[in-house]
Structure formats: C-alpha cells, structure tokens
Amino acid sequence: MRVFGVDPGLTRCGFGVVDGGAGRTVRPVAVDVVRTPADEDLALRLLQLSDAVEQWLDRYQPQVVAIERVFSQHNVRTAMGTAQAGGVVALSAARRGLPVVFHTPSEVKAAVTGSGRADKAQVTAMVTKLLGLKTAPKPADAADALALAICHLWRAPMRSRLEEAQARAAEIARTHRARLAQAGAKVAATPRAAKAGSGGSARIVPVAAEVAEADKSGRKSR
C-alpha cells in the first residue's frame, strides 16, 4: 500500500509518501515541505497548496491519503489555517475517489515511538530510523508527514478488522430485531390464549413461543 501523509499548514505543509510491505516493512518514496507566503491573500495560498497536492497525487499515485487531525486549545487562528489546508488536501483526494483518513497527533506519536507524549525530536529520530534515512527529514513538518504515512500503514489492518467486527455486530442486531418484529406481528394477529379444560387454565399460543425463541437466539448471537 502507498500512503500520502500530510501534515497540514499554510506557512509550511509537510508531504510524505511511504510504501508499506509485508509485516511492518516501510520504504520512503518522497518527502518535501510546501511553503506559502504569510503576507499573501488566503485564497491564493490555498490555491498554491491545492496545485502542489494535485502534482503529488499525479506523480506518486497513492492509494490512501492520511492527514493529521486538527485541534487547538490555544491559538484558534493557527488552527483555522491548518484546518483550511487540511480541507484542501482532503478535497483533492476526494475528487479522485481516494480514501482520506485522519489521525490525531498522539495516535501518530504512539505508532512510531510507542508514546503518545513523544516530542518532535523523538518522532523525527524514529522516522529516520524506521525508514533507514541517511539524514533526518527537516523541518519537523516533513518528518511529521512521513510519520502520518507510517502510522496509517501500521494502523490500517487493525482499523479494518475493527470495522469488520462492527459491521458483523450491526448485521446480527438487525437480524435479531427483524425476527422479533416478525414474531411480534404473529402474536398481534393471533388470539392471546385459548381456554382449555373446566378449570379455565390458559394454553400458551405457539407464536408466543416463537417470540421467546427469537429473543433467546438473538442473545446467543451477541
């Protein structure tokens, strides 16, 4: 699988493409940082970023685009610019029908270093080691983009299994509800009980047993 990792930003936007092989094998393909002037009009900066993304998608033909999920508790203005840059990347990928995934910074750090609290220097060091690079990718935006790609390559199989399990559970639940509804409809359409014997004791209607059986079956399948 080939993943295009993007560390979004307006002033500096990190791009990194990594190929994944058997097991946890990863191979670097390309890395760079796209810069736009801070004093330029916002629309033009986003256009420049969009053009760069299109060029990379054309050149490297990734199968997935992984973008860092944006959040900020302090600098709202910076967070907005970063989110806008990430939106441009996601839009370019979506137009080509490419899947877009978002990973949080702590998720990426944990994937490549083993700790969600790792600093940028630790992330850069591990990315350099994992990819067998002779020199560390600079600036940090470049290393972060490669880390995003590696993170997705290693997390994708786990995420896929989780989604499959959730889909199976949802299907079992739908089947169970349908069986209960069908059995309930039979109960509603059938007399509740029939008198039997002089004591007036009630005879259980067969469809009531069907409801109980459907409920029992659903519980077993969960």
Catalytic (active site) residue 141:
yes
| pLDDT tens digit sequence for 10-69 | 999 999 999 999 889 999 999 999 999 999 999 999 999 999 999 999 999 999 999 999
Q: Is 115 helix (H, G, I), strand (E, B) or coil?
A: coil
* Residue 183 token pair: 């059995």
- Name the active-site residue from 40, 51, 54, 68: 68
Which band of pLDDT confidence, cut at 50, 70 and 90, is reported for residue 196?
very low
Q: Which of 19, 40, 58, 141 is catalytic?
A: 141
Weakest mean pLDDT among 39-43, 75-79, 116-120, 202-206: 202-206
Q: Which two tokens stand for residue 17?
A: 């493409």
Active site residue 68: yes
pTM, full prediction: 0.72
